[in-house]
Chain A
């Protein structure tokens, strides 16, 4: 099958790859570009572990074709820390012991980031709603919810 050129920005850096038609963005990110922070859980859009941010919107990279991402701005969890300083969400997840096995964590953090980008001071219900597409098999939702609320408070204090 003929390969298709695709160019996009990943965490601020230009990336160019040749991908086969039908290649998912998840596969392109993990196996071609080497960003393994999006995880492949169900590969059919039901677990949320592969979530990434494309042009500011939360997307499931396992259901997104890489060839449709030309010219987009893609963000993953591996690009959140700046100059070695963890993003407030990452810090809050660590402090709240919001990871157990850690497989759902990157997807949870992506979903939480899109929430906080649009709703800086979410209610608990809004956090639950934002995370409802992400499965945590360790069933550790409570500390995850608390971590997102803590990160939101930290952000609003910094802004004040």
Chain B
């Protein structure tokens, strides 16, 4: 009986969003009378940071600072339609919709500014700090605050835009069954090192090294925290977490946090994250979806590391001490 060390590797590609019947998200953008921009969405921020990213995307497209953008995700009854926040699709689908809506709003904003400055709208540019300038003659300018006031109270224009992003439904080809379920894939590879106690079946994760290819990281610090947390959630799925430990038998399921195992701050392994940015062809400013994707490659990597350590293939999750010991017993019986 001994503690045995093993190393496992796994790589995944992961679709951004899923397309089982067409995958749309819509967005509306309008300016307030003082030149702030309101983005109305039904996409939900459940903690992954969607509001921040949509504010950045809208601000970048219109040409204002991020703090001039307000994101309203309040009501899926009344907001423009969104399929939902799942399958790593929020940034990609909602982001593209926000870009389209913000472009239309920007065009109206430039037209109003053009009337105020008595120039052609195509000769105008934004400075990203809340002003609209004449290209090549920056001394001739107007603030977006004043443009919004003019639009509302003088020119009778609505500085607003509609955005829609739809991945159309893909039907399988009759002959081959081939279809295109997604247009955008993120990729990841994980190497996990574990120790397995072949007497108790306990697995200790020593190190987790991950490479994630996620398109452009629109907010690198938020991407990093998502990936580090997701990496540990993947380990947790591999080794600890399940609502139905004896599926399909429903007995002995975890009923609360006392019985549902999750890692705590004392269970962290040495974790390394490397981010590769290869901008996607159809993502907003090159982004892909890093959310759900990042908790996947650790699971097969740990299973492979366990195999490397003690020579048993565990194909049911989570990889509990009991499952390892049963597999070791079966192995020695053969």
Contact = CB atoms under 8 A, between A and B. Distances in A.
Interface residues of A, number: 26
B304 to A, nearest CB: 22
Contact of B257 (A47, A101, A127): A47
A101 B45 CA distance: 9
Interface stretch (A10-18, A30-38, A58-66, A142-150): A142-150
B233 A139 contact: yes
A72 interface: no
B264 A141 contact: yes
A46 B230 CA distance: 22
A140 B266 contact: no
Contacts of B49: 100
Contact of A145 (B224, B225, B265): B265
Nearest to B257: A46
Interface in A121-135: 127-129, 131-132, 134-135
Contacts of A134: 265
Given A100-B47, A102-B47, A135-B262, A140 B256 contact: no
A132 B229 CA distance: 16
Nearest to A131: B265
Interface in A91-143: 97, 100-103, 127-129, 131-132, 134-143
A44 interface: yes
A140 B258 CA distance: 20
B297 to A, nearest CB: 15
A42 interface: yes
A127 to B, nearest CB: 8
B229 A140 contact: yes
Given A42-B257, A46-B256, A101-B46, A143 B225 contact: yes
Nearest to B219: A97
Contact of A140 (B46, B225, B257, B264): B225
A116 to B, nearest CB: 16
B228 A140 contact: yes
Nearest to A46: B257
B268 interface: yes
Contact of B229 (A42, A44, A47, A138): A138
B236 interface: yes
Contacts of B264: 131-132, 135, 141
A142 B266 contact: no
A98 to B, nearest CB: 8
Given A129-B266, A139-B236, A44 B47 contact: no
Nearest to A47: B257
A28 to B, nearest CB: 23
A132 B230 CA distance: 19
Nearest to A129: B266
B222 interface: yes
A100 B266 contact: no
Closest A-B pairs by Cβ, 5 of them: A101-B47, A46-B257, A141-B265, A139-B232, A139-B229
16 contacts: A97-B222, A97-B225, A100-B49, A131-B264, A132-B264, A132-B265, A134-B265, A138-B47, A139-B232, A140-B229, A141-B232, A142-B228, A142-B271, A143-B225, A144-B265, A145-B265
Given A128-B266, A141-B232, A142-B228, 11 more contacts: A97-B221, A97-B224, A101-B46, A102-B47, A127-B265, A131-B264, A131-B265, A136-B265, A138-B225, A141-B268, A145-B265
Interface of A: 42, 44, 46-47, 97, 100-103, 127-129, 131-132, 134-145
